[in-house]
Structure 1
Amino acid sequence: MSASVQNTILLVEDDEELAHWTQEYLSNKGFNVQVTASGVDAVARINSSPPDLVLLDGMLPDLDGLDVCRQVRPTFANPIIMLTARDEEIDEVLGLEVGADDYITKPVRARALLARIRGHLRRNQSQVQHNQQAGPVSQIRLNELLIDKQNLSVTLRGQAVSITSAEFDVLWLLAEKAGEVVSRQELVNQLRGFDYDGFDRSIDLRVSRIRKKLGDDPNEPYLIKTIWGKGYLFARESW
């Protein structure tokens, strides 16, 4: 996917040197990059003029990156990639729980960052085009579970399930192939647009969150089963 001036990225980073390098690199790749060092200002910008993608530092001087994500996610549907120096699994889990679509630890590799950005923008644009062309509402109903792609909503036994857009995408793909094993490679390729390197755990973390929200037993899941060495199976018969 080639970038254009229509692809606006909001970079929220208080490290001036890193912010300057990232802005210059991405601008040279054709993106319109806006920069702020303030979490409070980032929330205001995202709400008033939503960018196509947000690169969000996890640690900011006024409002933590997690809080920024938590505040804007209910109304901001575009991708959020968190950048942080904290390389702990708990931080990754927290970032994904509050609605981040991706999580990259510093130091950031230029080509890897560019690949992630392009992958998320490509997926997001495909989703928008699908919704515009969809016509009738696209739904998957499995007994008491209703997944509505047009509204990005999930209902279980008549009750709305609070779910992030990133979690929804994983759930939709698994439910779409209920009864079949879906590999991590396939999930990563379709959702993030780059090859699975064997170490990316964001898909696993999202599945874990989905299980919890659907009341699936994390120790002995019966809805979304882990098929070791292969991937995940959405068990059609369990519903």
Structure 2
Amino acid sequence: MNQVGKQEHILVVDDEDRIRRLLRMYLEREGYKIDEAEDGESALAKSMETDYDLILLDLMLPGTDGLDICRELRRKKATPIIMLTARGEEANRVEGFEAGTDDYVVKPFSPRELVHRVKAVLRRSSATAFLSTETETHNVLVFPELTIDHDAHEVRAGGVEVALTPKEYELLYYLASSPDKVFTREALLRDVWNYEFFGDLRTVDTHIKRLREKLNRASPAAAAMIHTVWGVGYKLEVPKE
């Protein structure tokens, strides 16, 4: 259960019945409501029909694979996705993040660790909803061409609402909370991804790229606020009048 008493609804997608049963057991023990899918087609249909709080998505599936599902889902929804895969190579991780996944777990994995990752992703995605229902404050960051309503978890660029994944939103809000401050990739991995000792720095680059692309479709001026500081990292630069 989250802080407002809502039972989170999770879709577990894996072609191995043993893994689905294992994940169901551990997640139901934590109070989550679980649906299952064993192939890409049924997973995509269920994820489009139902507004899940999180999807655990195996990369290698019969028919439509996890990357294709992730890309298709991202055209319509910002549902948090944790990718499960037996392939741990760096290129596969980057490919998953480019497709829009929020986290990445390599098989074989510890079920307890996976539950911890699930809780972390759900906590990040639901925190602002809790603020908007439990407090009367209205936390809004306003810049030229860009507005971030943190309580409503809403981003507008050029007056147009922009749909972001939880991780994209968290990255943008983190940069926007300290405008004109330069953050290294290592610092962003530590503070946004909670990676203390490891992490692929290209994960940051991939999310910055996706964030710029989404903002640019609504307002090129808003997208241009995210600056690359070569050899260092990134910052959100406020236009000087």
Give yes or no for TM over 0.5: yes
Q: Distance in 2 between matches of 1:67 and 1:44?
A: 13
Cα distance in 1 for residues equivalent to 2:234 and 2:180:
10
Query: In 2, Cα distance between the equivalents of 1:169 and 1:2?
Result: 19
Matched, 1:48 2:56: no
- Offset at residue 166 of structure 1 (A): 2.5
Which residue is 2:223 aligned to? Answer: none
Render the CA deviation track for 1:111-153: whole Å, top value 9, x for unaligned.
3211111011111111223455688793431x5x524445744
Distance 1:30 1:198 in 2: 30
How do 1:18-37 residues align onto structure 2 when only pairs under 5 Å count?
18-37=19-38
Tell me by how many angstroms 1:45 deviates: 1.4
1:10 and 1:35 in contact (8 A); partners too: yes
For 1:140, the equivalent position in structure 2 comes to 142
Give, in angstroms, the shift of residue 176 of structure 1: 1.9
Query: How many residues of Structure 1 are paired with residues of Structure 2 in the alignment?
Result: 229
TM-score by structure 2 length?
0.74
1:106 equivalent in alignment to 2:107: yes
CA separation in 1, counterparts of 2:231 and 2:164? 24
Q: Report the residue type matching 2:227 in the other structure.
A: L
Asked if the contact 1:140–1:175 (Cα under 8 Å) also holds between the matched residues in 2, the reply is: no
After superposition, the CA RMSD in angstroms is: 3.7
Q: How does 1:111-130 map to 2 (within 5 A)?
A: 111-130=112-131
**Deviation at residue 70 of structure 1 after TM alignment:** 1.7
Q: CA deviation at 1:14?
A: 0.4
Aligned partner of 2:37: which letter? T
Which position in structure 2 is the counterpart of 1:218?
none
How far is 1:188 from its partner? 5.1
Check the 8 A contact 1:11/1:55 in 2, yes or no: yes
CA deviation after TM superposition for structure 1 residue 163, in Å: 5.5
Match of 1:223 among 221, 227, 235: 227
Cα distance in 2 between the residues matched to 1:114 and 1:183 = 29
* Unpaired stretches in structure 2, ≥5 consecutive residues: 221-225
Separation in 1 of the partners of 2:67 and 2:189? 23
CA displacement at 1:155 relative to structure 2: 3.3
Measured after TM superposition, the shift of residue 52 of structure 1 is 1.4
| Paired residue secondary structure (1:223) | strand
Q: 1:169 to 1:5 in 2, by over 3 A?
A: closer
Question: Contact conserved, 1:5 with 1:32, CA < 8 A, in 2?
Answer: no
| Equivalent pair of 2:189/2:199 in contact (CA under 8 Å) | no
Amino acid at match of 2:229: K
- Identify the range of structure 1 (68-77 vs 34-43) with the bigger mean alpha-carbon deviation: 68-77
Aligned equivalents of 1:35, 1:44: Cα separation in 2: 12
Please, what TM-score do these two structures have when normalized by structure 1?
A: 0.75
Q: Distance in 2 between matches of 1:91 and 1:154?
A: 32
Q: Which amino acid aligns with 1:129?
A: F
Pairs within 5 Å for 1:1-239: 6-130=7-131, 138-141=140-143, 143=144, 145-149=145-149, 150=152, 152-153=154-155, 155=157, 164-182=165-183, 187=188, 191-192=192-193, 194=194, 196-199=196-199, 201=201, 202-210=203-211, 223-225=227-229, 228=232, 232-236=234-238
Q: Give the letter for the 2:73 counterpart.
A: V
Gaps of 5+ in 1: 216-221
The answer to whether the 8 A contact 1:5-1:31 is kept is: no
> What is the deviation of 1:67?
1.4
Q: 1:154·1:163 contact (CA, 8 Å) conserved in 2?
A: no
Identity of aligned residues (%): 31
